[in-house]
Structures are given as structure tokens and as C-alpha cells.
Amino acid sequence: MPHITLVRHGQANTDARDEISYDRLSDLGHQQARWLGAHMEATGDRFQRVYCGTLTRHIETAISMGAEAHATIVRDERLNEFTYFTLSQLMEEQHGLSVPSEREGFVEHLPTVLGAWERGEIEGAPETYAQFESRVRDVMAEIAAGQGRALVVTSGGLIGMVLRQTLSLDVQGWAKMCLAIMNTSVHRWQMVLEQPLLVQFNGVAHLEAPDRQYAQTHL
């Protein structure tokens, strides 16, 4: 039975306000990834295929996890995050929507931006919503068609889109899923009769010990 495990990258540069500055792991992000890799090794969680996006934070997470010990890492730009910082900047310029400075502010900001993007109301976006949705659907279908258990290291927005496509979520539901996804969290799907079934969401067993709970981060 095809089995796909998606992992969100470790904590990135939380002080960033643009795509390039954000795209590197913090020291904690590397540690989160090392703990996850060690947890998978200790529990016998093995993979015959490993994929990640081409963003630095994806590659650094996969390497810090020790994912190369399972299989050669296939880098696929279709697994990259949508450009949230850029979309937010365009929303501010075109619609006067200020970018929040704290996590709580994103509860309203994220669905507003995603909704405008989906409706085609953000001019000059690096890719359209339809292009993002299509590339996620295509790459996941290709991975699902492969043989053996697959590990995919990617970003929260992409994992949220897979959840949206699996669970038929509206834009509000998609945004809520994205906000909930923690760094280095584990999400699992099984294909049954060619249909993806979600069997695990936001697992952080590697961060549940009392001395590691501080590392349960969202940003």
C-alpha cells in the first residue's frame, strides 16, 4: 500500500520579512530536524524514497534529519512553498492590508491573503493560485504512484494544500490547517483504492519530552 509521509521544515529565520531572508534554518530548526531523524531511526521508520523541495530550508532539514541514509534525496521545485511574504507585500501595496508582527495577527491575515490570491485579486503574484494547486496535485500524484514508502520534506503551506485537496476544505479551513502545522511535524497519508486517506496530522513525538517541549514551534 503506497504510504507518504510529509514533514514540514525546521524553524527558519523568524525575523525575516522576505522570501530570501526566511529561507534558512535557525539553530533550533537544525536541532528539531536531528531529533526527528533520531526518532525515526529509533522507531524503525524507514523509507525507500525521499523527496524535498529546492528551498534551502527544505534541503537543510532533510540533511539534518539524516534522510540520505534512507535513499538519495530527489529535489523537486514543485514541492516548494508558495511565496507568502511576496503575496503579503503585494496585498499591503494594493489593498492596504498590513503584515502582522506577531503570530496571533496571522489568524486573520493568512485567510485574507489566501482568499484574495485564490480569487485572482493580487496583481503581479509570482504564480497564480491555480498554478500552485495544480503543481501540488501533480507532484503528489506522481509520488503516490511510486513504489515503497515515501518521505517528503516541504513547507506548511504545501502540506496545507494537500490537506485541502484530501479533505475538500474551503479557504478558511486551509488557512486554519496551515496555522496549526508545527516545525518538523509529521503528516501521513495512505493510498486506498487510489484515494489518499489522512492517517496522521501534525505529529511531533520527537518533541514531546518535557525538556523538548520548548521546541514545539510554529514560526
Query: Residue 196 is which amino acid?
Result: P
CB-CB contact of 109 with 87 (8 Å):
no
Cα–Cα nearest to 199, from 208, 186, 209: 186
Rounded mean pLDDT for each run of 10 residues along the chain, 219 residues in total? 91 82 94 98 96 98 97 98 95 93 84 97 97 97 93 98 96 95 97 86 98 95
Antiparallel, parallel or unpaired: β 186-192 and 3-8: antiparallel
Cell of 73: 534525496
Strand bridging mode 49-52 / 150-154: parallel
8-state DSSP, 182: P
Supply the pLDDT for residue 60. Answer: 98
Distance CA 191, CA 209 (A): 31
Enter the C-alpha cell of residue 167. 479533505
Alpha helices in the chain (DSSP H): 19-22, 27-42, 56-65, 84-95, 106-118, 129-144, 156-167, 171-180
Cross-strand pairs, 25:
12
Q: For the chain, first and last CA: distance in Å?
A: 34
Q: How far is CA 107 from CA 15, 170, 172, 180, in A?
A: 18, 15, 10, 10
Q: Cell match 489566501: residue?
A: 114
Question: Cα Rg for the chain, rounded, in angstroms?
Answer: 17
